[in-house]
Amino acid sequence: MKLLRHLTDPVYDVTYHANSYDRLWLKSMIDRRDLPFIHLLTIIHLTVVPIAVLLFTNILHGWLWLFVATGYFYLSQFYFKGRFGLMFHCLCHRKTFKSPYQTKFLFYVTWIICPLFGHAPEGYFSHHLGMHHVENNTEEDSSSTMFYQRDSFKSFLRYFFHFILLGFKETFAYLHRHKRKTLYTRYTWGEWLFILFCICMCFANLKATLVIFVTPLLFARLVMMLGNWTQHSFIDSSKPDDIYTNSINCINTKYNHVCWNDGYHIIHHLRPGLHYTEMPGEFWKRKDEFAKKKSIVFDGIDYLQIFIYLMTKRYHKLADNLVNIDGTFDSQQQAIDLLRERTKRCIHHL
């Protein structure tokens, strides 16, 4: 186990001096701390967007098309996917621009850029803010992990295919049941228009459509389900609605530097609108409560590593990277026993 000594995750750099390009955007932005989002979107528009357009043209043929398509897929789906997806997550939770620019900005990113990374328009916002943060992974959350054995790959596959086949239906039903008409209307339009768009584009260029839209859609849903599974793998079944004990934090990881402190998932559920640069400080403020409730905090490993350790049942590796805040655990074995207990399905289901 590890002691809580320091945090290396990103906070706001007060010494950063805005250049002329930054100042152009800052005129209409609310928070200068969001400039890194503009930088990322700029790079995406200079690389991903033009290459995607190129792949739909007749300029490239044969092995050259395949070579560019392979490079494009790596660039968009492995290099930029996490950065963009978690940036969009931040954009959904906090306004970036002043009125009237915010509505147009979010609409453009949602409907034009998101599909390049496998996100059907309006789906992420409707599911994540309309349901997941309202229910916090409890029974009414259609993506809840509480009914599954969370150290079983077989259970994960059931969870993934359940969401692929029934996720839209169950999310729509939830939003409809709770009378969130704006959300379920946008959700429906976004999902079905994107499917129709992909079908039409297959007739224009099947290969490009599969590489740029269809495969990223399936890949994105796999990545999101894997992430949600890991973020909510350790649940205290006696109080599954307690945010401190139904989610985890990952601190001091490279992942947090790339994906806007996404490892601070307990903090995010506690304060969904908190700016990502404030999350390490918020964690320090609440560390006594984390210790009291035996919250699961890992140091130096990210969600993918945790998922692999869970699937291979390497609890000793999880315990090696568990943070023992203020002597929460008396021994490593006690920590391992708690980790095992919190991966058990909360209610017999499926």
Q: Which two tokens stand for residue 332?
A: 């490593």
Tell me: do 59 and 127 sit in the same domain.
no
Tell me: do 80 and 126 sit in the same domain.
no
pLDDT at position 348: 47
- Cβ–Cβ < 8 Å for 116, 308: no
Domain boundary among 95, 117, 139: 117
Q: Give the strand pairing for 248-251 and 296-299.
A: parallel
Tell me: do 253 and 196 sit in the same domain.
no
Reference 137, options 153, 150, 120; nearest CA is: 150
Tell me: do 269 and 208 sit in the same domain.
no
pLDDT at position 105: 98
Per-residue pLDDT of the chain (350 residues; tens, 9 = 90+): 999 989 999 999 999 999 999 999 999 999 999 999 999 999 999 999 999 999 999 999 999 999 999 999 999 999 999 999 999 999 999 999 999 999 999 999 999 999 999 999 999 999 999 999 999 999 999 999 999 999 999 999 999 999 999 999 999 999 999 999 999 999 999 999 999 999 999 999 999 999 999 999 999 999 999 999 999 999 999 999 999 999 999 999 999 999 999 999 999 999 999 999 999 999 999 999 999 999 999 999 999 999 999 999 999 999 999 999 999 999 999 999 999 999 999 974 43
Does 227 map to a domain? no
pTM here? Answer: 0.95
Q: Which two tokens stand for residue 126?
A: 């409707």
Does 11 map to a domain? no
Q: Cα(130)–Cα(141) distance, rounded to whole angstroms?
A: 10
Tell me: do 141 and 212 sit in the same domain.
yes
Q: Which two tokens stand for residue 133?
A: 């943060």
Reference 213, options 197, 230, 231, 235; nearest CA is: 197
Does 157 map to a domain? yes
- Cβ–Cβ < 8 Å for 110, 125: yes
Does 235 map to a domain? no
Tell me: do 174 and 213 sit in the same domain.
yes
pLDDT at position 347: 73
Tell me: do 249 and 209 sit in the same domain.
no
Domain boundary among 117, 150, 183: 117
Does 350 map to a domain? no
Buried (b) or exposed (e) across 91-106, using 16+ Cβ within 10 A?
bbbebbbeeeebeebb
- Cβ–Cβ < 8 Å for 14, 277: no
CB atoms within 10 A of CB 142: 20
pLDDT at position 349: 42
Tell me: do 288 and 301 sit in the same domain.
yes
Does 165 map to a domain? yes
Does 15 map to a domain? no
Q: Cα(3)–Cα(325) distance, rounded to whole angstroms?
A: 6
Domain boundary among 82, 117, 152: 117
Does 295 map to a domain? yes
Task: Provide the residue range defining the domain that includes 157.
Answer: 120-217
Domain count within the chain: 3
Q: Which two tokens stand for residue 155?
A: 């259970």
Residue with the two structure tokens 């109080």: 239
Q: Cα(333)–Cα(330) distance, rounded to whole angstroms?
A: 8
Tell me: do 206 and 260 sit in the same domain.
no
Tell me: do 48 and 59 sit in the same domain.
yes
- The CA-to-CA distance between both ends of the chain, in Å, stands at 35
